[in-house]
Amino acid sequence: MLDMSMSDQTRTAIVTGASRGIGAAIANRLAADGLAVVVNYAHSADEAESVVSEIEAKGGVAKAVRADVSDPGDVASLFEQTSEAFGGIDVLINNAGIIQPGRVSIVDTDDELFTRLFDVNTRGVFNTLRAASSGLRDHGRIVNFSSSLVGLRLEGTAVYAGAKAAVETMTAIYAKELRGRGITVNAVAPGPTATELFLKGKSDDMIAQAKKAPPLERLGTPEDIAGVVAFLVGPDGGWVNGQTIRANGGLV
């Protein structure tokens, strides 16, 4: 249940794709830091409600809201429902995204896969950024999600990495377009992170190779990434703007 008696000074965050993995870790971390959190999901209602229950059990404030970020109408509804529930929006975390099924070369990428990757990973960010221009309060924070594959440039990742590269470019430009409002816009580009989505379908050898790749010789954790996001939206991150932070243990 929402605590509608909370202080007007409480900041509110939307975390897209927050029903599991990195998004769920971010939602939990921001709630622990005192923000009211909207746990956005597209399909996994039960998992999103479980994240809300976990946050509330620790004394935090959260609400699950369904929205497909690739749909502008859904995004408008997400912002409206958040503002109605909490009185405004201060933080937007664009975590929602999909990965491609293993490495797929450009020549083997069909139209359906190309459209799906760009609809969620790029258009989804565009839709929420556009909505944030009027929906986010001044002095807010925006964190978009890219991928360290943009820097690695591995064969078979061109379309996925290209969709994320577009996000990095939009991040830097949008930070300038919001000049004068005190809103920071940054991106986080994780490397291999131990989530169910990343580990699914990978052999022990593949996981071992992924662990050895960065100099720190381990996979990232969702909490590692959540900590970077918490810094960017917290009081110490206010002078970082228009940047992409590659949180990957030194992989690239």
pLDDT tens-digit readout, 181-213: 999 999 999 999 999 888 888 899 999 999 999
Give φ, ψ of 90 to 5 degrees. Answer: -115, -25
- For 34, the 3-state DSSP assignment is coil
Say which of 41, 145, 160, 198 is annotated catalytic.
160
1 pLDDT above the threshold of 90: no
Provide mean pLDDT across the span 66-75.
Answer: 98
Q: Give per-residue pLDDT as tens, 2-58.
A: 443 334 458 999 999 999 999 999 999 999 999 999 999 999 999 999 999 999 999
Q: How far is it, in rounded angstroms, from Cα 99 to Cα 197?
A: 9
Q: How far is it, in rounded angstroms, from Cα 213 to Cα 11?
A: 38
Provide mean pLDDT across the span 213-232.
Answer: 97
Provide mean pLDDT across the span 133-155.
Answer: 98
Q: Enumerate the β-bridge partners of residue 13.
A: 37, 91
Residue for token pair 């960065």: 214
76 pLDDT above the threshold of 80: yes
Domain ranges of the chain: 12-192+223-245
Q: From residue 205, how far is each of 103, 106, 139, 214 by CA, in Å?
A: 17, 26, 46, 16
Cα-Cα end-to-end distance for the chain: 43
Provide mean pLDDT across the span 226-238.
Answer: 98
And the tokens for 80? Answer: 């409206």
Identify the H or E element spanning 13: strand 12-15
Q: Give per-residue pLDDT as tens, 97-109.
A: 999 888 999 999 9
Architecture of domain 12-192+223-245: 3-Layer(aba) Sandwich (3.40)
Is 160 among the catalytic positions? yes
Residue 223: Cβ-neighbour burial (10 angstroms; 0-12, 13-18, 19+) = middle
